[in-house]
Amino acid sequence: MKLFESSNGKSHEDLLDTPLYTVPGTKTIITWADAVQGTMVTGSTGSGKSSGAGAYIAKAMLKSGLGMCILCAKKEESKRWLRYIETAAPERAKDVVIFGKQSGLKFNFLSYEMERPGEGSGDVLNAVDALMSLNEQNRVYLSGGNGGKDERFWDLSLRRLISRCISTLKLAGEEVSVSNMRRLVSDCFKGDEPDYYQKLEQQAGDESTDPQKRQQAINELDRWIETNYFLRVLLKIRNKDFDTSDEEDVDLALIYWIREFPKIGEKATSIVVESFMGIVEPFLNKGVLKDQFAGGLSAELLPENIYQQGRIVIVDFPIKEFGIAGIYAATIYKTTFQAAMERRDVETEANPKPIGLWIDEYQQFCTHKTDSQFQATARSSWVATVYITQNINNIFYVMGSDQPEAKAKSLLGNLNLKYFASNDNYDTNVWASNMIGKHMVDFQNLNISKDMEISKSKNQHLQFRVSPDHFTFLKTGRKANNYIVETIVFKSGKTWGKDNQNFALVRFDQR
């Protein structure tokens, strides 16, 4: 047997040629290889994008036995997926894990990152990235994605604070949790407190000091330590023996908390701490984040189960019901899932299959930094992303203030299979028309002179293959259109129909 060969005799690259579905009304097959290059579906509200192309692709993925991670933005979405499974692949019912408020399941993402299997387990940066994604989502939700010109500086400062929190708790042997991180930051040294603490230590340890003053210093230190979690953690580190490999981390942590952070200035401290509290406070107040994401780790939710056991994890915290908590919940699981999939080694699996990442109302869950990086390499992890949104302006809107259009187009450009349903968004329609391209069209001119002489001439002009206004005429399903949803499908490298066009008009039946 070859080194990289599946148990059925096919190489892993050959497996990618497995058909996933045939595009309706065409003979064009979408393979696993096409799917792992990413799929985008756009269309106005009510265009049938989800019930047309979306439903068709979803059922194909279920029938093919793909494990899936599904984020729900709407209240009825999880029920719709259960209907898909019941009608298209009832044998998959055993694979479903619904992660919602009533499920009782828990996913402490920090514990997962610290304890998961693999060489990178316990890597502080992975946990930092997860929390920074929440900061990004918090900014988008509260301010529509507009960050100030100093946004990058404060993000770097916040990233350092989070990183030092996690590494400090690890070094002290404390549980890495949102609650402990908050206690650490709330109690940490600020301003001149390190100097005052050092002064008390010196007085308490100096036998030549006036006994009364020395005892006062000892009593004050004891009270301070007793009521201050930060001091107890740092003293625990000070009194602990470390391997040589950990000594640099210890020095970095102590230098940060004693010399660097207290000296950044009152205003800077306030901004960084408030940004941090904005991330962690939702996990400490009563609600789903505290109940299901701050402690505990249910085995059913381990992201590795999605490809190892073919699980279908439905993250069901609808935004209309849970607001920012729903966005946090979905973002936490999505970010953790993406990192787990990037660690996946397909070549070591006997019979690997692609994994679906399905996000309707994608603009609600977009984290441009992690999503762009992930999509650029999703093919190597065999992750078939399907992102559904109304228009490209939705994505521009959540990309921040620094070159949002360029960032959005970079991300969307890595979603190679595109379905365009009916749309009245000018920018999306022009973008789609330009992408599909232009071709030469023959025009014939007929001239009649005053002497009644007729002359003909021919010339060619470049015209859109699909004009922007054409997208406004596509059928949107429901009874008025006999439940037919029309879309324009495009994928670079694919040809369609007897004329080998680079696009096709596709009709999906909603029934």
Domain boundaries, the chain: 12-105+308-439+465-509, 109-191+228-283
**How far apart are alpha carbons 409 and 415 in whole angstroms?**
10
The per-residue pLDDT for 198 is 94
The per-residue pLDDT for 4 is 44
Tokens 């029309």: give the residue: 486
The per-residue pLDDT for 121 is 67
pTM of the complete model? 0.87
pLDDT along the chain (511 residues), means of 10: 51 90 93 97 96 97 97 95 97 97 94 80 77 79 57 82 94 92 95 93 87 91 96 95 90 95 91 91 91 92 95 96 92 93 90 95 90 91 97 91 88 96 97 89 73 75 89 96 96 86 94 89
**How far apart are alpha carbons 397 and 189 in whole angstroms?**
38
The per-residue pLDDT for 12 is 78
Looking at the domain 12-105+308-439+465-509, which fold is it? Rossmann fold (3.40.50)
Residue 82 phi, psi dihedral angles, 5° rounding: -65, -35
Do residues 210 and 275 make contact, with C-beta atoms less than 8 angstroms apart? no
The per-residue pLDDT for 403 is 86
pLDDT in tens, 135-190: 877 777 666 555 555 566 788 899 999 999 999 999 999 988 899 999 999 999 99
Residues 6+ apart with CB under 8 A from 229: 180, 183, 184, 186, 187
The per-residue pLDDT for 3 is 43
The per-residue pLDDT for 62 is 98
Do residues 340 and 118 make contact, with C-beta atoms less than 8 angstroms apart? no
pLDDT in tens, 358-413: 999 999 999 888 899 999 999 999 999 999 999 999 999 888 777 889 999 999 99
The per-residue pLDDT for 262 is 94
